[in-house]
Amino acid sequence: MSDEIVRYDLPQSAIPTRWYNIQADLPRPLPAVLHPGTHQPVGPDDLAPLFPMALIGQEVSQERFIEIPEEVREIYKLWRPTPLIRARRLEKALDTPAHIYFKYEGVSPSGSHKLNTAVPQAYYNKLEGVQGLTTETGAGQWGTALSIASNFFGLECIVYMVKVSYHQKPYRRAIIQSFGAQVTASPSDTTEAGRRFLAENPESTGSLGMAISEAVEVAAMSGGKYKYALGSVLNHVLMHQTVIGQEALLQLRRAEAYPDVVIGCTGGGSNFAGIAFPFIRNNLNYGNKTRILAVEPAACPSLTRGTYTYDYGDTAGMAPLVKMHTLGANFVPAPLHAGGLRYHGMASIISELYDQQLIEAVAIPQLEVFKGAVEFLRAEGIVPAPEPSHAIAAVIREALAAKEAGEKRVILFNLCGHGHFDMAAYDAYFKGELTDYEYPQEAIDAAMARVPQIGGGES
């Protein structure tokens, strides 16, 4: 291969035909999901008010691969396969012997990886005959993706957007509305849960946990007209994202390279899973030794400072109990600009992988994140969203460590979305208005004090 190639593209015939389900390869199975009222394992009937049966089946499936419907693959063709790019200019700027590759998911119509799961979720709900979908969104990327997918399949879409992002990102809100979705700032007075949150704190800036409570309530009370769609955390959502890593494996083969480390940012875990799970499969089944690194904000450090225990997926306690690394469902993060990484817990699968020491995790403060984002964009010409900029900051750390050690390391990361709707964050950074924030332990302790006590749950 020419040493001058910087971009590795694939033909549309290379779009994966199957999603990879890592549950088939876990050394030990995932802990059971529990009913929020009875604390007993949930069954399909418990989840049916929220999800179509096809997705419930995928959530618990132990099959290694699940076929991607042709209608979904046809829509995937609008942006997949996405490019794998060698960041040669960043390598030069860092003066590192490391080879840095990134998978660029910002070429999708929604500008991020989220459409990879929004499309199949809308598809399966359409097959079940629902009228519309409800959901939450933090930074707005998931709300954008679900509004697009709902539009494609003729479904209504109701989005509860975390209030701080609703005001920080008006153009993200506008694009969601452009596809016909209804957007409400959360917490709101449109649901019982929202009214309760506002009664406790009328000035609340919101959280993903609160927005989930509102969206779940609307779906659960709709008599089957609406189902709930989630953009991260759940097993089937993470599985849908594995098209990213599967394509990357093919592209790296063309580049005659294989990663020493794979890096992704983590909030709920969807884009991290998408890039990392196919490489974890190779580690588990074929003896590969790739390091897998999850990167989270210091202001919302669920993996690095959370407790691995059962907790609610939402603030009101309406969603099932999941064993995960959590900061407590009542955790309200600081209004940092990486809105997609402000969730109180981590996906069950990623929590289990971390507990089994199959992946590593690091928390990075906001100013280092934006410094890395600016270094990347000035080298590579792509403005990254604040969320994947956490991965970029970790990549820079790894590249400089390779320089210090004099080692030629291969680094792969997922640039899961562009930052074209996040320029207010960059503006604040250049004005010196952003600050580092580490969530105080006493606030974590207060939120954790309200976590339900499930026998044998904590580890």
Q: Name which of 314, 306, 310 is nearest 323 in CA terms.
A: 310
Torsion angle of C-alpha atoms 108, 111, 115, 118, degrees rounded to 10: -150
Residues forming beta bridges with residue 65, ordered by sequence position: 20
* Final residue before a domain boundary, out of 204, 233, 262: 233
> Encoding tokens for residue 258?
């294989």
One-letter amino acid identity for 448? Answer: M
**Alpha carbon 42 to chain centroid, angstroms:** 24
**Do you know the residue count of the chain?**
459
Q: Are 345 and 433 within one domain?
A: yes
**Contact between residue 422 and residue 341 where contact means Cβ atoms under 8 Å apart:** no
Q: Are 168 and 249 within one domain?
A: no
**Contact between residue 105 and residue 198 where contact means Cβ atoms under 8 Å apart:** no
Number of domains forming the structure of the chain: 2
Q: Is the peptide bond before 187 cis (omega within 30 degrees of 0)?
A: yes
Q: Are 100 and 158 within one domain?
A: no
Q: Are 289 and 428 within one domain?
A: yes
* Final residue before a domain boundary, out of 202, 233, 264: 233
Where is 278: in which H helix or E strand? helix 270-286
Residue range 64-120, pLDDT digits in tens: 999 999 999 999 999 999 999 999 999 999 999 999 999 999 999 999 999 999 999
Q: Are 332 and 425 within one domain?
A: yes
Residue range 241-292, pLDDT digits in tens: 999 999 999 999 999 999 999 999 998 899 999 999 999 999 999 999 999 9
Banded pLDDT at 455 (limits 50, 70, 90): low
Confidence (pLDDT) at 393: 98
Banded pLDDT at 231 (limits 50, 70, 90): very high
Q: Name which of 346, 383, 385, 338 is nearest 365 in CA terms.
A: 338
User: Is 135 strand, coil or helix?
Assistant: strand
Q: Are 134 and 157 within one domain?
A: yes
Q: Are 104 and 118 within one domain?
A: no
Q: Is residue 408's pLDDT more than 50?
A: yes
**Contact between residue 325 and residue 349 where contact means Cβ atoms under 8 Å apart:** no
Average pLDDT (26-51) is: 91
Confidence (pLDDT) at 168: 82
Banded pLDDT at 2 (limits 50, 70, 90): very low
Q: Are 77 and 120 within one domain?
A: no
Q: Are 409 and 334 within one domain?
A: yes
Q: How far apart, in whole angstroms, are the C-alpha atoms of residue 138 and residue 166?
A: 8
CB neighbour list of residue 187: distance below 8 Å, 6 or more residues apart: 163, 193, 194, 195, 197, 198, 204, 206, 210, 211, 214
**What's 23's DSSP letter?**
G
Phi, psi (deg, nearest 5) at residue 18: -140, 145
Residue range 154-176, pLDDT digits in tens: 999 999 999 988 988 888 899 99
Residue range 104-148, pLDDT digits in tens: 999 999 999 999 999 999 999 999 999 999 999 987 889 999 999
Phi, psi (deg, nearest 5) at residue 323: -80, 120
Q: Are 365 and 429 within one domain?
A: yes
Banded pLDDT at 414 (limits 50, 70, 90): very high
* Final residue before a domain boundary, out of 216, 233, 250: 233
Banded pLDDT at 386 (limits 50, 70, 90): very high
What CATH number should be reported for the domain holding residue 74? Answer: 3.40.50.1100
User: Is 242 strand, coil or helix?
Assistant: coil
One-letter amino acid identity for 359? Answer: I
In percent, the amount of the chain with pLDDT more than 90 equals: 78
What integer best gives the mean pLDDT of the chain?
A: 93
Q: Is residue 1's pLDDT more than 50?
A: no
Average pLDDT (325-334) is: 80
**Contact between residue 418 and residue 384 where contact means Cβ atoms under 8 Å apart:** yes
What domain range is 256 assigned to?
Answer: 7-15+68-111+236-448
User: Is 432 strand, coil or helix?
Assistant: coil
User: Is 158 strand, coil or helix?
Assistant: strand
One-letter amino acid identity for 95? Answer: D
**Contact between residue 186 and residue 205 where contact means Cβ atoms under 8 Å apart:** no
